[in-house]
Chains A and B, each alone.
Chain A
């Protein structure tokens, strides 16, 4: 029973963790992209369509990543090259993504999807309990873990990561030091888009192998909140994502079990839990400030 719940939680948390990871990198470079929801849904529709037409869910995963990345390029061009307002552009990206994906996906509604099958590690998956939970998952789950390790290493152990954080903290100084701010930010935005697209692919290939308009249902926004929740630290995103997933699934189980608590209250629980943790985390203002990229959301125009 516990194992079953855990498996459900993992499926629910994986897209949140992946999308939040991408957004974390973008925000660490100083770009606030509110278009996660739009990029995610574009990834979902591209992944589903490709998997359906080619019969290969792996090509679908690639298409999801590509779709999200391509869509984020539009955001990059607008905010980095044309220096538009990041908040407004991000919101527009979400609205546009929901609309375009609906149009693209129109002929795919109601079709049976292709599920991404789990990759089972022999021997390891035979370990009682953790075997099935950790070593008999689909590709995207393994990628989510690899992403956390990779991003954590990149940000805090690599030279490029250090430069990128410098840009996020003070793009003027970084520019003066000769770091190419715009190019780095383009790459960070692209990475964010690719991650959101991968998260979308998880939705339409693993979570629920089907295409439904607006199927991301606000998960992009939760991913955005997770970044703040994690105070821009990769491992905390894992914790936050799984906490959110656990409370979401837990409340459904509580309902099915017949706990005498009103379901509206239970449904609000994941959000309430998020707020509580947020309050606890932001209790220490100083550490919060240290972690927040100082030039987040600010436009950058190189000196001529």
Chain B
């Protein structure tokens, strides 16, 4: 009996835990650690698409391997170490919670190059990389202000971390640049991916009168609700147009492929060095899904803003900006520093919510 249970548990672990990996001797091995399943339809899938792009572009020189569903915390350290021991020349760890584990394992394997997504701890052989998602959210805010009849948007948020707060603020600032009285209602779902809960949050917001929805959670459930209720919405992390062909206005699409190709090339030709990279729209690490379901003038405005952000002419966080309580944060013309943005723990004026602490 015991054997059966062990066999069961083992098969479960195999099915749920790991897949991939192939062997060949001459090629360099590039490895990835994922926090979720590679088909989550959002964050992890975007990284996996990046991995496949890398394999397609450089398949003659490298091979890739990945571990999915790696929990953040102590288990992560073991998973990363296992990858490092299995001759990976380069390891991308793709979730914020892998930060300490990455730095720790990196110290034991000085020859392996590590890249950690969205974190802030670097070392000799650990680089960090992130994407300026807020640039896309600013554009979404502008579109929302043009498209909303009531001047009220619903925002489904995940967890009150700086990344998410930054997104809410950028959205509000974008909206206010078009309609100074624009308001957003925020609901914290306290989850990254629970379609049921995200749908419930969306329904609650629609019932309270918002006529446009945006989300910082990973599944397409909110867009489905928006489609059902006949309002417009934005996609997150991936192009979610399939969930709402007549509903999605645009989406922020994480495009990691070009970055992975660039950095892996650098590793191969020996020019790789530890950097803290925070790229945005102009670098192609972040792209906007096609602007759909909107009048031509709104589309033109969105395209113009996108071009301005790319050229550096426009920084979404440029003063004058007040904090939620009305006190001054940035003076006219002053731009927010990256450090402040990465640690953002306050709302800007106009957000109709109390920030959870």
Q: Which chain A residues have a beta carbon within 8 Å of chain B's beta carbons?
A: 1, 4-5, 8, 12, 78, 82-85, 88-89, 92, 95-96, 98-100, 102-103, 105-106, 109-113, 203, 207-210, 212-215, 217, 219, 248-249, 252-253, 255-258, 260, 262-264, 267
B220 lies within 8 A of A217 (CB): no
For residue B5, which residues in chain A have a CB less than 8 angstroms away from its CB?
84-85, 88-89, 92
A96 lies within 8 A of B8 (CB): yes
Q: B298: shortest Cβ distance to chain A, in Å?
A: 25
B1 lies within 8 A of A83 (CB): yes
For residue B199, which residues in chain A have a CB less than 8 angstroms away from its CB?
207-208
A264 to B354, CA, bound (A): 12
B16 lies within 8 A of A248 (CB): no
Which listed residue, B12, B201, B357, touches A252 by the CB 8 Å rule?
Answer: B201
The answer to whether B208 has its CB under 8 Å from any CB of chain A is yes
A109 to B44, CA, bound (A): 13
Q: B138: shortest Cβ distance to chain A, in Å?
A: 23
Residues 199-237 of B, flagged 1 when their CB comes within 8 A of A and 0 if not, give: 111011101101000000001110010000000000000
For residue B353, which residues in chain A have a CB less than 8 angstroms away from its CB?
255, 258
For residue B203, which residues in chain A have a CB less than 8 angstroms away from its CB?
4, 8, 249
A83 to B1, CA, bound (A): 8
Residue of A nearest to B238 (CB): A110
A267 lies within 8 A of B12 (CB): no
B9 lies within 8 A of A208 (CB): no
A264 to B238, CA, bound (A): 27
Which listed residue, B11, B40, B185, B196, touches A208 by the CB 8 Å rule?
Answer: B196
A215 lies within 8 A of B39 (CB): no
A230 to B198, CA, bound (A): 27
A213 lies within 8 A of B12 (CB): no
Known A82-B4, A252-B204; contact A98-B16, beta-carbon cutoff 8 A: yes
The answer to whether B186 has its CB under 8 Å from any CB of chain A is yes
A46 to B139, CA, bound (A): 39
The 6 closest A-B pairs by CB, nearest first: A99-B15, A99-B16, A263-B188, A208-B195, A217-B194, A252-B204
B15 lies within 8 A of A100 (CB): yes
B12 lies within 8 A of A253 (CB): no
Residues 63-101 of B, flagged 1 when their CB comes within 8 A of A and 0 if not, give: 000000000000000000000000000000000000000
For residue B190, which residues in chain A have a CB less than 8 angstroms away from its CB?
263-264, 267
The answer to whether B243 has its CB under 8 Å from any CB of chain A is yes
The answer to whether B242 has its CB under 8 Å from any CB of chain A is yes
The answer to whether B41 has its CB under 8 Å from any CB of chain A is yes
